[in-house]
Amino acid sequence: MTVQQAEGIIAKMHTGVKIAYTHRFAGDRGTILRLDNYAMINIFDDGRYYIQGDNTDELVIAFGLIEAAWDPDSWSPLLSGPPVAAEPVLPWKRPPEQPPKRFEF
C-alpha cells in the first residue's frame, strides 16, 4: 500500500471522511494519515499499513478490498526463510605458542 493508493481509497469512499493531516513517522519509516473522524492510517515504507482509532469499520472494509492490513499480533522476529548459517565477521586467530617478550634484559 502506498500513500497515494490510500488517499485514492479515502477519496472514493462515500462516507465523507477526509484527510485532516499528513505527516511522517518520527523514525522516518512511513506516513501517518490522520482523518477528520479521529481515525489514523499508518502506512509504512515497506508497504504495510495499519488502521487504528475510532470509526474505522468502513475504512477496514474499503482497504481490505484492495489489500489485507498488517496484523501486529502475527508479527514474528524470526525470518520466514530457511535458516542460514552465520559466518563469523572476523576470523579467529590463534594466540602465539610463545608470547613475545616485552623486555629483554
The model's pLDDT over 51-99, given as tens digits with 9 standing for 90+, comes to 999 888 888 888 888 888 877 777 666 655 555 555 655 666 666 677 6
Q: What angle do CA 79, 83, 43 make, to 5 degrees?
A: 15
Given a contact cutoff of 8 angstroms between Cβ atoms, the answer to whether 57 and 64 are in contact is no
The C-alpha atoms of residue 87 and residue 65 are separated, in whole angstroms, by 43
List strand residue ranges (DSSP E) for 1-105, in order: 19-24, 30-35, 39-44, 49-53
SS3 content of the chain, % helix, strand, coil (to 5): 20, 20, 55
pTM score, whole prediction: 0.65
**Mind listing the domains of the chain with CATH numbers?**
3-71 (3.30.310)
